[in-house]
Amino acid sequence: MTLDNYLSHLENGDLVITPGDREDIVVGTLSSLFSKTFPNISGILLTGG
Amino acid sequence: MPLNKEHDAIYITSLEPGSGKLMVTLGMMELASRVVGKLGFFRPVIRSGPKLDNDLDLILKRYDLDIDYKDAHVFKVDEIQALGADGKFRDIVQAVIERYDKIKERFDFVIIGGFESSGISAGFDVDANIEITQNLGAEILGVMNAKEQGPREILEEFKISSKAISSHGCFHLATIINMVEPKMIKSLEDLFEKEAKDHVPFYFIPHIPELASPTVGEILETLNGTLIYGKPSSLSQIATLI
């Protein structure tokens, strides 16, 4: 899934589970934390080292 | 819920894991701590492993009870399984009763957390719970999980469990029907009012998903993960998994 599509799925309280090498998802999700309009996730769980 | 002064203990039990027994136990501790002089807690069987049993530890600390962790339980689940495999059912029940007798002397009122998943068999769990309560002279507070069940199924399960308890001569205080879909509560109340009026008191607790969801910190601990970024205080957030 591309970052664009993924971001539209975010909801309040979500725990995002993603492989550690998906930099786009990691950076995009971290950025969402600083946005006033995006939902607030509860955490990011990085898998696979 | 009125506490019966004829009995000096309540045994909280459910026939299935994940019924929300801990939440009900905490609620009963909260209630009893306000009306009872010296309140005790006893959990005969705790989870296996070297770590503290979270449920027992939480209750002992939250209510600052005058009982040591090691005295407030008798067995771990794996010990029960080993004894059960050897057919030492009587030894299990006997050890629990002996410990309870010692605890009872020190407290005005004791709340006992029954066990629902020894891993031996459902039949064993039911028998052991009933046998223990018969001997302890405690009143039974049943906890039922109504999740994903229709009103009729919930009513039937309530009737069957009530019958099982009363047919063994146990004192049945009430049954808490937990995790009821909020939309269903009204129709369930009407149905129970009509068809279960003669039974013991029953109470409904609505299903609130957040209560059953783990926190980020619990997931981190379970997976043995490492915190890379973020404040430890934010680990208490509830994690929603889709």
Q: What is the DSSP string of B175-187?
A: EEEEEE-GGGHHH
Tell me whether B85 touches chain A (CB under 8 Å).
no
Query: How much helix, strand and coil, in percent to the nearest 5, is found in chain A?
Result: 35, 20, 45
Burial of A10 (0-12, 13-18, 19+ CB in 10 A): middle
The helix/strand/coil state of B40 is: strand
Using CA atoms, how far residue A33 sits from A19, A20, B160, B227, B230, in Å, is 19, 18, 50, 17, 11
How confident is the model over B203-217, as pLDDT tens digits? 999 988 777 788 898
Look at A43 and B234 and tell me if their CB atoms are within 8 Å. yes
Nearest CA in chain A to B210: A13
- Cα dist. A13→A32, A43, B7 in Å? 13, 8, 44
Sequence spans of domains, chain B? 9-207, 209-242
What is the count of structural domains for chain A? 1
Query: Where does the pLDDT of residue B171 fall: very low under 50, low under 70, confident under 90, or very high at 90 and above?
Result: confident
> A34 contacts in B (CB within 8 Å)?
none
Range of the domain at A9: 3-47
pLDDT at residue B166 in the model: 84
Report the alpha-carbon distance of residue B51 to residue B216 in Å, rounded.
19
- Please give the span between the terminal C-alpha atoms of chain A, in angstroms, as a whole number: 20
The nearest alpha carbon in chain A to B214 belongs to: A15
Q: Is the ipTM of this complex over 0.85?
A: no
Tens-digit pLDDT profile for residues A2-46 = 999 999 999 988 999 999 999 999 999 999 989 989 999 999 999
Token reading at B60: 């002992």
- For B9-207, CATH gives 3.40.50.300
